[in-house]
Structure formats: structure tokens, C-alpha cells
Structure 1
Amino acid sequence: MDITQVLIIEDIPEISEWLAERVKQTFGVCNISQVDGVVAAKKSLHQTTWDLILLDLGLPDGNGVDLIRPLKTILPNCHCIVTTIFDDSGHIFPALSAGADGYLLKDEEEAEFCNSLRGILAGRPPLSSSIAQQVLLSLRRPIPSAAPTLTPREEEILVLIAKGYSCKDAAASLGVSYNTACGYLKNVYQKLQINSRAEATLKAIELGIVSTTDTP
């Protein structure tokens, strides 16, 4: 299948550009458009006949899952692939049930990501290898009834941000990719309903995970 019209729905500019480069690396020259939220994405669906849409789940103005069904209704031949940092069943199954054609993790190595992307469009299994393993594990064990407010990783990055680390430095400290660290931080902001580093610092103090002497 020729891929010429591509829409990337991702609110972190650096990650959006990373995805655009992977698309070019995989399919060559494409007309790539980038939007950063649900509202902008809905407008874009009617602008052209998209061949491929890469969709983040945690968008600032809504859940990316809610875009999948209308997207597939409007563009039934378009490949809609979720690109996310979420590897848990609570995100995987709703996205696939809504009609996503694939589910890839943004912190994969470049070559693996491109190979997975190419494979989905060629009809191979539509999941990152780690996601496929997660699906199998989820089928073998009960799904937890509730999740903590913040995951351990999300709490770690909140502490680092409160201490004055940049997202890049926090990624290095945690031993994860920049994309993954940004995704964790975005999820923290959404869960705690905050919008700035200052609010993050205050919230970390309020939660008791840092003290005023730890902050810059």
C-alpha cells in the first residue's frame, strides 16, 4: 500500500517530529500533517483522504481512544495506529476494541519501530512485541480493579521535576528515553490537573514526596 497522506496526532512537539521522521524513514516522501489535540484532529479528518494516522492517547483536550471509532467511520481504509507510552491492558484493550489497526510504543528503538510500522501495513501482527507479551499476560491474570494515583515512575519524575530537573535530565536520571520521560510527565500533569513546573513542585510538596528543602 502506498502511503502518501499522513496525519500525526501528538501534543508534544519533539515526539511529533520524531514520529514524522520515522514515517519518512519507513515510507519515504509523504505529505505529513501534525495536530496536537482532539479538536484539531476532528477538523483534520475531513481535510483529505488520509492513508495513515498515528494517534496518541493522552491528549490535552481528550482521550485519543474517542477518536478511533469516528475516524474509522469517516475513513474506513485509513490505517489508524496508536503510538503511546502506555503498555497496560487498561489502555491497550479499549484502543483495539475501538478499531485501532495497531498499537506501538514510542520508546521502541527507531529500527524496531519502523519495522513494526511497516509490518502493520503489510498485514503482520499489529502490536509491538512487548505489547503482545502484555496482552498475553493480561489474559492470564485478573485486571487490577484500581490503579494508584501515580505509578512509581510517574512519582519519580514528579520528584525530579520538583527538584529542578529538565525533562531531558530526568530521562537520563531514570535511564529512559526522552520520549518516555515526556510521556510520564504529561500523564502526571493530567492526573494531578496541573499545567506548570511550579504547580508540579507545589503538588509534590503537598503529596509529601519532596520537602521544601529539596526544591530549588
Structure 2
Amino acid sequence: MIDTPTRPAEGTAAASGAAYVDIMLVDDHAIVRQGLSSILQREPDLRVVAEASSPRQAMAEVERTRPDIVLMDLKLSASSDSEGIDLCAELTRAHPGVGVLVLTTFLDDQLVLRAIRAGARGYVVKDVDTSALIRAIRDVSRGESAFDARSAAAMVRGLNAPAVEESARLTQREEEVLVLLAHGLSNRDIGRELFVSETTAKFHVGNILRKLGVASRAEAVYQGGKLGLIR
């Protein structure tokens, strides 16, 4: 953890007149945080003031260091592909002056939309080049939005995606599988829990994705929650 003095107020560096854009890195892999820190510290106007590997630690570090930007992954544990969505929403509610920029390997149309609806000001994928990432950070620090080309396209596709049809209802067994998906179980674990084969579990998961009109397990859980299928 990087130890720096706390600042008296939130907000972008440009708005506050500060010499630096202060950044907090949130990723569950230390080597990723170290690599990002090394890259960003080379820039004369960027400063990494804190790091976190979990949502709880991230909230504590934001309170302590008051960064301008939180650069965060969406996958912060092995049990969830989108735990960062909840963290993003919590951060932006508690600290509206902080700009959240998502940096992740996941490029799902609905996931991009969910991140923006949770308060993120930008979304870039991890294979973006260094100059594009730095440009995105500076854009967000000025209160602007920031997307790489693929994330922007994904957002447009997500906005244009057809709504889930009411007639596409899940069977009782599919609802049971959806609940287990919400707990982060793999197809194999779902099969063990329901006393069916892994192939059968995979079949049920495929049906759930198709009926809910989504492309990933994380999106199925999100959509299922909205429809009241997960309690």
C-alpha cells in the first residue's frame, strides 16, 4: 500500500488546481497494480497515491487518500466476474467527485452499460496501448467520458439490444441453476449440487443465457436479479 498524506477535498485535479492527477489502482493481482503504477508514475502529471485488492480495502483507501481517479478492474475475486460493478456504484454514491475508470479484460455489451449505469466515467480494455490509457485517465480527470473504440462499440450494441421477451420464462430447474450461478458455482459444481452431469448443467446454463437474451453468466445473474428470479 502506498502511504501518502490525505487531501482535504475530492474532485479532479484540474478543478482543484492541484499539480497532479491522483490515482488509486484497484485490482486483485499485485503484479498488475505494480505494472500499472510503474507506467503511470512516468507521466509528470499523474501520481499513484493508493492501491487496493478488494472492495473493502478500496473504500477505505478512497476515504483515506481522496484520489481524483479510481482505475479499477471489474473482476476482484475468483467467485465473481463483475464484483467491481457493485464497488463502482458504492464508490460513486459515497464519493461523487471521484472519477471511476474501468480497466478490465471483459468486453461484454451489457457489462459496459452496467458499469456506466453504476457511475463509471469510462471503460477501457486491458490490451489498450499505454498512450490510450493515459489519455483516458486525463479525459476522466477533466470530467469527460473515456472509451476505447471496442468499448464504445460494445456500449452502442448494448443500447440497441432488444429487450428480454416476457414469454421467455425459465423452468423451475433453470431458476435453481440461476441461483447457483449467482453464488459463483461452475458447471461442474452446479451438477454436483443438483445431482446431474456437468453436461446437463452446461445445457441448463445455455438455455438460461438464451432465454434471458444475455451473453455471459454475470449478465444472466444481473438480468435474473432484475426479474426477481434470484432471492
Q: TM-score range by the shorter chain?
A: 0.5 to 0.7
Q: How does 1:31-180 map to 2 (within 5 A)?
A: 31-60=48-77, 63-142=83-162
Larger Rg: 2
TM-score normalised by length of structure 1: 0.60
- Cα distance, 1:74–1:139 mapped onto 2, change above 3 Å: closer
- Kindly report the root-mean-square deviation, in angstroms, between the aligned alpha carbons of the 2 structures: 2.9
Identity across matched positions, percent: 21
Query: 2-side partners of 1:4 and 1:108: how far apart?
Result: 20
1:34 maps to a residue whose letter is: E
Once the two structures are superposed, what CA deviation does each residue of 1:48-72 show, in whole Å capped at 9, x if it has no partner? 2221111111111761111123212
CA displacement at 1:81 relative to structure 2:
0.9
Gaps of 5+ in 2: 1-13, 166-183, 189-197, 200-231
TM-score normalised by length of structure 2: 0.56
Gaps of 5+ in 1: 146-189, 195-205, 208-216
The SS at the match of 1:30 is: strand
- Cα distance, 1:8–1:140 mapped onto 2, change above 3 Å: same
Verify: 1:24 aligned to 2:44, yes or no.
no
1:88 maps to a residue whose letter is: D
Query: 1-side partners of 2:48 and 2:160: how far apart?
Result: 42
Is the deviation greater in 54-63 or in 93-102?
54-63
Query: 1-side partners of 2:187 and 2:27: how far apart?
Result: 19
Once the two structures are superposed, what CA deviation does each residue of 1:184-205 show, in whole Å capped at 9, x if it has no partner? xxxxxx66399xxxxxxxxxxx
CA displacement at 1:129 relative to structure 2:
1.5
CA displacement at 1:139 relative to structure 2:
3.1
Query: 1-side partners of 2:35 and 2:187: how far apart?
Result: 27
CA displacement at 1:90 relative to structure 2:
2.7
CA displacement at 1:92 relative to structure 2:
0.8
- Cα distance, 1:96–1:24 mapped onto 2, change above 3 Å: same
- Cα distance, 1:46–1:66 mapped onto 2, change above 3 Å: same
CA displacement at 1:4 relative to structure 2:
4.5
